[in-house]
Each structure stands twice: as structure tokens, then as C-alpha cells.
Amino acid sequence: MTWRADPPAEANEPHPVARTLDRIVRRFGGATINSLDRVFSHWDDVVGPAVAAHARPLSLRDGVLAVAVDNPAWATQLRLLGNDLLTRLSEAAGAGVVTALDVRVRP
């Protein structure tokens, strides 16, 4: 049998869920819950309605945002708009949150 000391009293105190979620998200290569929310929940506002109608964010890991587009023409368009989209995403989510785009065709 292994004996373990009781955890410190503050370990039993309630903590804000956002702090715990931020820690979990960072472990999986994300930034923070707030920055993820700004990328995923506000995608239409960040990229505009024309792009949003054909592209959606899939995942964000280690600064690379995977984006699904509905046809190859939109993949080309997003690659051409890449620097502009990265600037807009930096303004929305914070500098360094999204550093690259990985555009994938997924009809």
C-alpha cells in the first residue's frame, strides 16, 4: 500500500474553470480559451462572409490553423489571402496565436 500525504488545503478550494481549461488547451498546443473563441466563434467576422461561406476552421495546434474549404478554387484563394488572413487573425486573437494556415479541401 502506498501512503500519500493529504493535498494542501488550497488544492481543495474551487478554481475558475477558465484557468483549468487554459492549462489543458495549452498542453494540446493551443493558446488560451479566449483566443480559441476569437478564432472559431468569430470566424465569419474575421474572414468576412464571402470566405466564411466556403471555409471553416478545423483546429489550431502550435500556431497552425487548419482550415477546410469546399473546393480547390477556394483553397487557392485562401493561400493567396494567407498574409491578410493571418493579420486579421492576429488582430482578433492576439499576436502569435495563429502563425500559419494549413488549407485542406473537404467538400
> Which helix (H) or strand (E) covers residue 105, if one does?
strand 100-105
Res 64: pLDDT? 93
Task: Give Cβ neighbours of residue 14 (< 8 Å, ≥ 6 apart).
Answer: none
What does DSSP assign to residue 63? Answer: T
Q: How long, in residues, is the chain?
A: 107
As its CATH architecture, domain 15-105 has 2-Layer Sandwich (3.30)
Average pLDDT over residues 65-86: 96
Task: Return the pLDDT at 85.
Answer: 96
pTM over 0.85: no
Domain ranges of the chain: 15-105
CA angle 48, 53, 54 (to 5 degrees): 110
Dihedral angle at the C-alpha atoms of 42, 103, 18, 93, nearest 10 degrees? Answer: -50
